[in-house]
Amino acid sequence: MPLKELLIFHPESEYIADVKPLQKYIESELNVRDIIFTSDENSSGVRYRAVADWAVLGKKLRKNLGKVKNALPFVSSDAVKAYANTGNIRIEGIDLIAGDLTIQRYLELPTDIEGQFATHTDNDVVIRLDIQIHSDLQGEWLARELTNRVQKLRKKAGLQATDDIDVYYQFEEGAGTELLTAIKDHAWLIQKTVGSVPVDVDRKVGGTELISEDQEVADVKFVLFLVRP
């Protein structure tokens, strides 16, 4: 299903500049409409937390390990960010230096939109993906899927890009409601790509059938017909 928005955060503008040329590829692979590249922590809601390899840190802290372990989840984002910049932090009176803790960037989502977005981080890059199903995007996706089926059928029939053909469909009774709505709402998109808007085969008034084939889009089965006027 198509998705509306992907946010990609990294603190370094050089990284953002390196990733931006891949925008079209990312959009295509993820079927996402908009991509936001940003280094702005405040607007994107990026926070910092610290985690530790307790087996390694335990050898250094020994009896003080418990103090740090209990306090670490409560260390503020600002304090962890400062540690990332300076390499020094004091937790429960115990001084830690660069390498003692691993810094993770993450997104803190407001509770009222938690179900709308999913986030992930590799401790360096942070992404936020809108995972809602938007009806307008779904309709556009269905129209594009139908267009893709028509284009493949044209190729199978040996047609050239300049060949004019009429496209017809046939659904089982009561099926294909969402796809029919998509055809109606995105007729301009289909017309622009394949040269005509598909109509019900019952409205066929003549012409020579070139090819017909069973199709399936979003679990809906139907038949497509290509007819030379």
Distance CA 217, CA 40 (A): 40
Same domain flag for 98 and 194: no
Q: Is the pLDDT of residue 109 over 80?
A: no
Q: Which of 130, 165, 197 is the last residue of a domain?
A: 130
Same domain flag for 163 and 69: no
Same domain flag for 26 and 119: yes
Which residue range forms the structural domain that includes residue 101? 46-106
Q: Which of 106, 121, 143 is the last residue of a domain?
A: 106
Same domain flag for 50 and 91: yes
Q: What pTM, to 2 d.p., does this model score?
A: 0.64
Same domain flag for 86 and 156: no
Same domain flag for 114 and 199: no
**Structural domain count, the chain:** 3
Structure tokens at 93: 């009176």
Same domain flag for 99 and 162: no
Please write the tens of the pLDDT for every residue from 70-102: 999 999 999 999 998 999 999 999 999 988 999
Same domain flag for 113 and 203: no
Asked whether the beta carbons of 166 and 218 are under 8 A apart, the reply is: no
Same domain flag for 141 and 178: yes
Q: Is the pLDDT of residue 32 over 70?
A: yes
Burial of 151 from C-beta contacts in 10 A (0-12 / 13-18 / 19+) = middle
Same domain flag for 36 and 125: yes
Same domain flag for 99 and 118: no
Please write the tens of the pLDDT for every residue from 7-25: 999 989 999 999 999 999 9
Phi, psi torsion values for 183, nearest 5 degrees: -60, -40
Distance CA 102, CA 36 (A): 27
Structure tokens at 70: 């209990």
Same domain flag for 124 and 139: no
187-194 vs 177-185: helix crossing angle, rounded to 10: 80
b/e per residue 180-202 (b: at least 16 CB within 10 A): bebbeebeebbeeebbbebeebe
